[in-house]
Amino acid sequence: MHIFRTWSEVPPPLKGGVIALGNFDGLHLGHQAVIGQAVATARAKNAAAAVMTFAPHPRQYFRPEQQPFLLSPFRLKARLIEALGVDYLYVQTFDREFSQRSAENFVAEVLVGGLGVSHIVVGFDYVFGHQRKGNVALLQDLAGRYGFGVTAVSEAAAPGGVRYSSTNIRNLLQEGNPAEAARLLGRYWEIEGRVEHGDKRGRMLGFPTANLPYKDYLHPRQGVYAVRAGIDRGAATLWFDGIANFGNRPTFDKTDILLEVNLLGFEGDLYGRHLRVALIEYLRPVQKFDGLPALAAQIAKDAEGARKALDRLAPAPYPAPYIPAP
Please determine, for residue 7, whether its predicted confidence score (pLDDT) is greater than 90. Answer: no
Mean model confidence pLDDT for the chain: 88
Which bin fits 131, alpha (ψ -120 to 50), beta or left (φ > 0)?
A: left
C-alpha angle with apex 320: 56 to 246, nearest 5 degrees?
60
Per the structure, how many domains does the chain have?
Answer: 2
Question: Considering the domain boundaries, does residue 171 fall inside one?
Answer: no
Question: Residue 317: what pLDDT?
Answer: 64
Question: Residue 269: what pLDDT?
Answer: 83
> What's the average model confidence in pLDDT over 224-244?
88
Question: Considering the domain boundaries, does residue 159 fall inside one?
Answer: no
Q: What is the pLDDT of residues 148-157, one digit of tens each?
A: 999 999 988 8
Please determine, for residue 274, whether its predicted confidence score (pLDDT) is greater than 60. Answer: yes
Does 148 lie in the same domain as 237? no
Please determine, for residue 246, whether its predicted confidence score (pLDDT) is greater than 70. Answer: yes
Does 246 lie in the same domain as 116? no
Question: Residue 34: what pLDDT?
Answer: 97
Which bin fits 39, alpha (ψ -120 to 50), beta or left (φ > 0)?
A: alpha
Does 6 lie in the same domain as 105? yes
Q: Which residue has the higher pLDDT, 266 or 36?
A: 36
Does 133 lie in the same domain as 7? yes
Question: Residue 293: what pLDDT?
Answer: 79
Does 196 lie in the same domain as 58? no
Does 142 lie in the same domain as 17? yes
> What's the average model confidence in pLDDT over 246-267?
76
- Taking each helix axis from N to C end, the angle separating 178-185 and 166-174, rounded to the nearest 10 degrees, works out to 160
Please determine, for residue 251, whether its predicted confidence score (pLDDT) is greater than 60. Answer: no
Q: What is the pLDDT of residues 37-86, one digit of tens each?
A: 999 999 999 999 999 999 888 888 788 777 888 999 888 899 899 999 99
For residue 305, the domain's CATH number is 2.40.30.30
Model confidence, pTM: 0.89
Question: Considering the domain boundaries, does residue 72 fall inside one?
Answer: yes
- Listed residues 102, 136, 153: the one ending a domain: 153
Does 24 lie in the same domain as 120? yes
pLDDT band for position 255 (cuts 50, 70, 90): low
Question: Considering the domain boundaries, does residue 267 fall inside one?
Answer: yes
Does 6 lie in the same domain as 145? yes
Q: Which residue has the higher pLDDT, 249 or 310?
A: 310
Question: Residue 320: what pLDDT?
Answer: 66
Question: Considering the domain boundaries, does residue 172 fall inside one?
Answer: no
Q: What is the pLDDT of residues 116-175, one digit of tens each?
A: 999 999 999 999 999 999 999 999 999 999 999 999 999 888 888 889 999 999 999 999
Question: Residue 30: what pLDDT?
Answer: 95
Does 223 lie in the same domain as 137? no
C-alpha angle with apex 66: 278 to 126, nearest 5 degrees?
75
Question: Considering the domain boundaries, does residue 98 fall inside one?
Answer: yes
Q: What is the pLDDT of residues 190-212, one digit of tens each?
A: 988 889 876 655 555 556 788 88
Question: Considering the domain boundaries, does residue 40 fall inside one?
Answer: yes
Host domain of residue 8? 2-153
Question: Residue 106: what pLDDT?
Answer: 96
Question: Residue 11: what pLDDT?
Answer: 81
Does 24 lie in the same domain as 128? yes
Torsion sign (Cα): 286, 305, 262, 324: negative
C-alpha angle with apex 117: 111 to 118, nearest 5 degrees?
145
Using CA atoms, how far apart are residues 126 and 128, in angstroms rounded to an integer?
Answer: 7
**In this prediction, what percent of the chain has a pLDDT beyond 70?**
93
Q: Which residue has the higher pLDDT, 78 or 321?
A: 78
For residue 83, the domain's CATH number is 3.40.50.620
Question: Residue 189: what pLDDT?
Answer: 96
Which bin fits 74, alpha (ψ -120 to 50), beta or left (φ > 0)?
A: alpha
Does 220 lie in the same domain as 96? no
Does 145 lie in the same domain as 6? yes
Question: Residue 188: what pLDDT?
Answer: 95
The three-state secondary structure class of 53 is: strand
